[in-house]
Structure 1
């Protein structure tokens, strides 16, 4: 399967910008809205983007086996796609899914022990999974590279 997410939005600079600039946007949103409202806004923005990527590729509600979903999401969100994060695994867990990833945009550049949690990344993973599976989900980060884990891990519970 060939997946192309190139939009050629800028003829000279290309379609990607720096993590430093993205993190500055996050910090600005947190300062303007407060931490809780910013978290809600960033998760929502990520969710919309993840869903949009899957829909643009015509893969929504594809009833794909979980290993294929993991491969697909690794392709569109990893180094051959948007470079949001590297996905190591997607597994079924009690009442939903568990996603293990690394090099997330949300954790990048943060000091060990930082209280930062995945926001935009969590939302993008959620939106993509919702679009592929056709199930409404609620995500919660359960492990963090910033607090001693080798991966950022998110569990998504299936809602109703």
Structure 2
């Protein structure tokens, strides 16, 4: 893993990574305590913050130049995929009239969920949103439009452009 993505080891023996099983237990416990909607809001917000921090750590913020969609896609794939945090695999990003559509699979949020589950990929959607916002300098609103848990080939997130990021 590239040193730009790797954190200083937070734990001497176990390292920085933890199990998806424990993460999912945290999520379901918070859902039980706060409810689905409040948990979704919190996880999207936490994901956005993580995505922004990751983009900043990689030196991708405030470059003051136009960035190609291919470059954005490559950076997101690297940072969140197998070489990075392993949050998900980003297959492609498509620019649309009002924003962007991101196709992912093996999201941490869908892992271990049964087919037909209503689980949404809130943290993953938020992390990609925060990364894109920081990298593109645009404020976005994300929604999940397809799920591998509900007969989709991908977990698909659509991000509508709301405006420029306030500095």
Is residue 6 of structure 1 aligned with residue 12 of structure 2?
Answer: no
Is residue 121 of structure 1 aligned with residue 124 of structure 2?
Answer: yes
* Residue 114 of structure 2, aligned match among 106, 111, 133: 111
1:77 Cα deviation from its structure 2 partner: 0.3
Give the Cα–Cα distance (whole angstroms) in 1 for the partners of residues 82 and 30 of structure 2: 27
Gaps of 5+ in 1: none
Q: Aligned runs of 1:57-68 on 2, under 5 Å?
A: 57-62=58-63, 63-68=66-71
**Partner SS state of residue 113, structure 1:** coil
1:3 Cα deviation from its structure 2 partner: 5.8
1:4 Cα deviation from its structure 2 partner: 2.4
Superposition TM-score, scaled by structure 1 size: 0.96
Confirm or deny: 8 A CA contact 2:47 2:123 kept in the other structure. Answer: yes
Superposition TM-score, scaled by structure 2 size: 0.92
Number of residue-to-residue matches in the alignment: 159
Confirm or deny: 8 A CA contact 2:92 2:103 kept in the other structure. Answer: yes
Confirm or deny: 8 A CA contact 2:99 2:159 kept in the other structure. Answer: yes
Match of 2:150 in 1: 147
Gaps of 5+ in 2: none
Is residue 51 of structure 1 aligned with residue 55 of structure 2?
Answer: no
Runs of 4+ in 1 over 6 A off after TM superposition: none
Confirm or deny: 8 A CA contact 2:88 2:108 kept in the other structure. Answer: yes
Match of 1:19 in 2: 20
Aligned-pair RMSD on alpha carbons? 1.1
1:61 Cα deviation from its structure 2 partner: 3.8
Q: After superposition, what is the alpha-carbon deviation per residue over 1:76-113, rounded to whole angstroms, capped at 9, x for unaligned?
A: 10011000000000110130000000000011100001
Is residue 96 of structure 1 aligned with residue 99 of structure 2?
Answer: yes
Give the Cα–Cα distance (whole angstroms) in 2 for the partners of residues 4 and 81 of structure 1: 9
**Partner SS state of residue 136, structure 1:** strand
